Structure 1
Amino acid sequence: MALVGLLVGVGIIMVQSAGQVTAIAAGGNPLGGVLRQGAYALIGMSLALVISQMSLVKLRRLAWPLLLAGLVLQLLVYTPLGYEAGGNRNWLRLGPISAQPAEFMKFVLLLWVSTVLAAKRPLLGKWKHVVIPILPVVAASMCINVLGGDLGTLVIIAALVFGCLYFVQVKWRILGAIAVVAVLGIVLMTLIKPNRVFRVAQFFEIDCLNDPEHAAGMCWQSLNGFWALANGGLFGSGIGNSRAKWQWLPEAETDFIFAIVGEEVGLLGAMTLILVFVAICIVLVAIMARCTDVFSVSVMGGAVAWFGTQMVVNVSVVLGFVPVLGVPLPFVSAGGTSLISGLMAVGLVLACVRDQAARDQAARDQAALDQAEPAPAQGTSFT
């Protein structure tokens, strides 16, 4: 999809711009951002191409093995191979390679949930066939994330799964029950960590824009995000001219890259970026409306929920509407696992598009054959 390619290109430019100062300060390669993000993009696009050429039958066969592999990788973060970053223990380090298994699980769950829903198509009106095995498996993955302190990924996974279920037209009473369980689960998982409760409580109690007492403390990141957006004005300060990236704004190239986008290309550029995400979601819904296969509908619906929710959460954090959750901006923020996983999902979407195109062509060919067949000859009547 050209729009996704546009986001990836913007992401490479903005990651280089946002991370250059940090790289130089750390004694690294000033071009490291563009080289790493470009390499991740190349890997992701190559995998997307491979996936897009696979049949849906082969992809469904991979769902269960990939699910098992994904859960094992998630559990490995609690071994010596795992390490903590940004307060979350959700990283693996294998030599020079670091990865976030939770990001990979988004793609895995998109594929696996769609496979299960397609297999249970005649039974989707019965709650036990929707809840089992989807709810236990998804809950297990989410619990592993939360134990490592990653609440943001939990929210995105919940939205992704809900999108799959909603667009395949699971009954509202079943969706409602699942939504209630999900909300209660998120609340419970928030409450079991005292520091998480403190952060949420402080978010609602403190007005960072009008409370100088916390300007150098918990409001530092949010305030510098606000100031970056304000400094950009309508047209921006120009690519590479951000002030916030000079180590004023933590996580400038990852979770807060939208603030750097707003500062360097202005309000118009930032709004254009949001509109590109909206356009991608509209295109996916339009394609989904033509799909006749439950698997394809679920994939499209889950992708819309994934990309749309993640964009909204990321931008809302920068704007101060929700607490900092550590959610990257899809296809734009720095991060190899996130970018590769998102591009793999795009490859899955393209595989569904190719399959539906083949179905449509077969239907047209059959219709043409039916029309071309001569009418049966009228028999001669003898009286």
Structure 2
Amino acid sequence: MKQNKMDYPLLVITLILVSFGLLMVFSSSYYFAIDKMQNKMHFFTADLSFIILGVFAMLVASAVDYKVYRKFAIPLFFLSMFLLIYVLFKGTVVNDARRWITVAGQRFQPAEVAKIGLIMFFAFSLEKNYTKLNQPKILGVYVLIIASVVLLIMKQPNMSTAVILAGVMAVMLFVAGLRWIYVLLFGAAGGFIGWLLVHNAPYRLNRMIAFLDPFKYKNDESWQVINSLYALGTGGIFGVGIGMSTQNKLYIPEPQNDFILATVGEELGLIGTVGLLILFLILLYRCVKIAMNAPDIFSTLLATGISTMLGLQILMNYAVATSSMPATGVSLPFISYGGTSISILLGSIGIMLNISKSTIKRTHKNDD
């Protein structure tokens, strides 16, 4: 066995995605920025500053030995829980949701911090308890943690992030050795809880009804989805060209955010959306490969959590933009505008790059 160097393909693909995302943020936000900010460069310059910060975080994280994160797992977990509670009382309200904390004039989402904080904590804790994971008392503690986190995030409300985090933690439990019977029970319980959440919140129920017949509600609940479909349809195979989108001219609210894929599809066509998806699949392949070849349980679970987080966000964003699932707010990794998100994601890639330095490359030799 011999040790690998840093996973440079992962680094290159990440930088390609970030550069492409910056271009699409400018193209998609151009008219919205003029209308709302009187500055066509507003979102581009803001996104660029967050990307610079994120790349710096990635480089630092790639240089820090991943083993060091064991020391910060518990403090970061408690910080994440504190921020999730704090935002419910002192958070900034935007579009009827209390998801942001404002510090020195800058907003950040504690849920984004919680993603990496909980992934790190679960990796640390499961490394110590994986042999006892299927004992009811031990498993019950993890279930309580997941339920607490989901409840806090749902109170913001932010169902998409709650679903992603629950999915990430469930996958980490499974990789750590959770029995199939518990996986099935968790799935059933999650489905039931989801049903309750939809039926007890009129706006979620309306979204579900609109999902079943989006064109019937094209002027209300399905406005964003229908305009996203119009954009994707208009783009055809080759697209109408960069900067030539019609739907992002104030038809799609905040087109640089959750529905940025619509602009990609309209301006670059099917080739653009499929090409982007292929890049994402290569990115995920590199991440999963790192997780599979990680040198210890902690790094395996840490890489698994980050890979799952990325995969779920990509899957959900594509599904929402194509009306393959009910509309919910989830950004497209490295492409959508968003300060906290892009910084955390790039920092997470830095952790993956550091783990890749320690992965073991197994070479097969012929027996003579």
| TM-score, L = length of structure 1 | 0.86
CA RMSD of aligned residues (A): 2.0
Distance in 2, Cα, partners of 1:127 & 1:350? 36
Aligned ranges 1:310-321 → 2 under 5 Å: 310-321=313-324
Distance in 2, Cα, partners of 1:353 & 1:125? 30
Could you list the runs of 5+ residues in structure 1 that have no partner in the other structure?
362-383
Q: Which residue of 2 aligns with 1:114?
A: 123
Contact in 1 for aligned 2:295/2:358 (Cα 8 Å)? no
2:188 equivalent among 180, 202, 214:
180
Q: Which residue of 1 aligns with 2:147?
A: 139
Distance in 1, Cα, partners of 2:14 & 2:252? 27
Contact in 2 for aligned 1:163/1:298 (Cα 8 Å)? no
Distance in 2, Cα, partners of 1:105 & 1:219? 30
Residue 29 of structure 1: CA displacement? 2.4
Between the aligned residues of both structures, percent identity stands at: 27
Q: Which fold has the larger relative contact order, with Cα–Cα distance below 8 Å and residues 6 or more apart in sequence?
A: 2
Which stretch has the larger CA shift, 307-316 or 217-226?
217-226
Q: Which residue of 1 aligns with 2:178?
A: 170
Please state whether the residue corresponding to 1:93 is helix, strand or coil. Answer: strand
Residue 256 of structure 1: CA displacement? 0.3
Query: Could you say if the C-alpha distance between residues 282 and 57 of structure 1 is closer, same or farther in structure 2, counting changes exceeding 3 Å?
Result: closer
Distance in 1, Cα, partners of 2:104 & 2:58? 25
Which stretch has the larger CA shift, 195-204 or 267-276?
195-204
Q: Which residue of 1 aligns with 2:14?
A: 4
| Letter in structure 2 aligned against 1:149 | P
Please state whether the residue corresponding to 1:153 is helix, strand or coil. Answer: helix
| Letter in structure 2 aligned against 1:25 | D
Q: Which residue of 2 aligns with 1:352?
A: 355
Residue 231 of structure 1: CA displacement? 1.3
Contact in 1 for aligned 2:91/2:101 (Cα 8 Å)? yes
| Letter in structure 2 aligned against 1:65 | P
Distance in 1, Cα, partners of 2:64 & 2:284? 23
Residue 24 (structure 2) pairs with residue 14 (structure 1):
yes
| Letter in structure 1 aligned against 2:112 | E
Contact in 1 for aligned 2:64/2:354 (Cα 8 Å)? yes
Residue 82 (structure 2) pairs with residue 82 (structure 1):
no
Distance in 2, Cα, partners of 1:276 & 1:123? 38
Please state whether the residue corresponding to 2:341 is helix, strand or coil. Answer: helix
Larger radius of gyration: 1
Contact in 2 for aligned 1:55/1:355 (Cα 8 Å)? no
Distance in 2, Cα, partners of 1:237 & 1:87? 35
Residue 98 (structure 2) pairs with residue 98 (structure 1):
no
Q: Which residue of 2 aligns with 1:149?
A: 157
Distance in 2, Cα, partners of 1:267 & 1:121? 44
| Letter in structure 2 aligned against 1:102 | A
Contact in 2 for aligned 1:226/1:319 (Cα 8 Å)? yes
Residue 132 of structure 1: CA displacement? 4.3
Contact in 2 for aligned 1:127/1:174 (Cα 8 Å)? no
Distance in 2, Cα, partners of 1:132 & 1:337? 31
1:284 equivalent among 268, 283, 287:
287
Residue 150 of structure 1: CA displacement? 0.9
